[in-house]
Amino acid sequence: MFRKMRRKRQLLSDEDTAAVMVRCSNGVLACFGDNGYPYAVPLNFVYFNGKIYFHSAKEGHKIDAIRKNPRVSFTVIDEDKIVSEEYTSYFRSVIAFGEARIAEGDERLKAFAALVNKYAGDQPEEARQRVITECNQSYIISIDIHHITGKEAIEYVRAG
């Protein structure tokens, strides 16, 4: 169903792929947009329990696109070092394919807590808990991952 990576030597292990997802703070969500155009939007996320979570307004292009067709892809760029003398860049990235849905109940609370702790972990515990339990103005969206791969520049493979 999903294509195999052509340059298999550059494929990251499952552990390294997960590490990229945990350490990165933003990625690009790609959906089916309006009038046959793709819609790709950068956003903050958390990789938690093998899923990708992010928050969304309850109205707008992103949530409309997800409701119309929940199949999405999500890309994270961990590193992109330009090496001009070699006419290339040394990179490390991950792409995931899956289905997006609105998280509810206990899953929503746990995912929202993971988001808050990732982006506001330096704030007092009671303030973070209040945000998690009282904020109802946005959705927490889950991407149930069907396929995920990480890839890095061949120069990193050779150096490893």
Residues 67-112: tens digit of each pLDDT: 999 999 999 999 889 889 988 888 899 999 999 999 999 999 999 9
Name the architecture of domain 8-102+138-155: Roll (2.30)
How far apart are the C-alpha atoms of 86 and 101, rounded to whole Å?
Answer: 43
What are φ and ψ of residue 103, in 5° steps? Answer: -80, 140
Q: Output the DSSP codes for 57-82.
A: ESSSHHHHHHHH--EEEEEEEEEEEE
Q: Where are the domains of the chain?
A: 8-102+138-155
The pLDDT value recorded for residue 153 is 84
CA distance 96 to 148: 4
- How would you write the pLDDT of the chain (160 residues) with one tens digit per residue? 887 877 777 889 999 999 999 999 999 999 999 999 999 999 999 999 999 999 999 999 999 999 999 999 999 999 889 889 988 888 899 999 999 999 999 999 999 999 999 999 898 888 888 888 888 889 999 999 999 999 988 786 777 6
